Amino acid sequence: MTSSHNLADAADEGSVRLREDNAEIEQVQVRIAEALERRDYAPAAVFAIRLSIEEAVMNGFQHGNRADPNKMVEVRWSIDQARANFHILDEGEGFDPSAVPDPTLDENLEIPSGRGLMLIRAYMTDARYHDPGNHLEMSFRKPVAP
Amino acid sequence: MSTEASRIRVTDLQGVMRVEFVDRDILDEAAIRQISSELVRRVDAAASPLMLISFRGVEHLSSAALGALITVNSLAKKRGGQLRLSDIKPSILEVFVITKLNKLFHISDTAERALEGFGRK
- For B101, nearest residue in chain A (alpha carbons): A109
Interval A96-109: pLDDT, tens:
998 999 999 999 99
CB atoms within 10 A of CB A134: 20
pLDDT (tens digit per residue) in B65-87:
999 999 999 999 999 999 999 99
Domains delineated in chain B: 8-115 (3.30.750.24)
Provide the pLDDT confidence category of residue B117 given band limits of 50, 70 and 90: confident
At A23-48, the pLDDT tens digits run 899 999 999 999 999 999 999 999 99
pLDDT at A145: 72
What is the count of structural domains for chain A? 1
Looking at residue B121, what is its pLDDT? 53
Which residue segment(s) compose the domain that A26 sits in? Answer: 4-141
CA distance B52 to B81: 11
Task: Calculate mean pLDDT across residues B23-39.
Answer: 90
Could you tell me if the ipTM is greater than 0.85?
Answer: no
Distance in Å, alpha carbon of A52 to nearest chain B alpha carbon: 9
Nearest chain B residue (CA) to A62: B29
Helix axes A116-123, A43-59, angle to 10 degrees: 150
In this structure, which amino acid lies at residue A69? P
Percent of chain A with pLDDT over 90: 83
A80 pLDDT exceeds 80? yes
Q: Does B75 touch chain A (CB under 8 A)?
A: no
A7 pLDDT more than 70: no
3-state secondary structure of A1: coil
Calpha distance A101→A105 (Å, rounded): 9
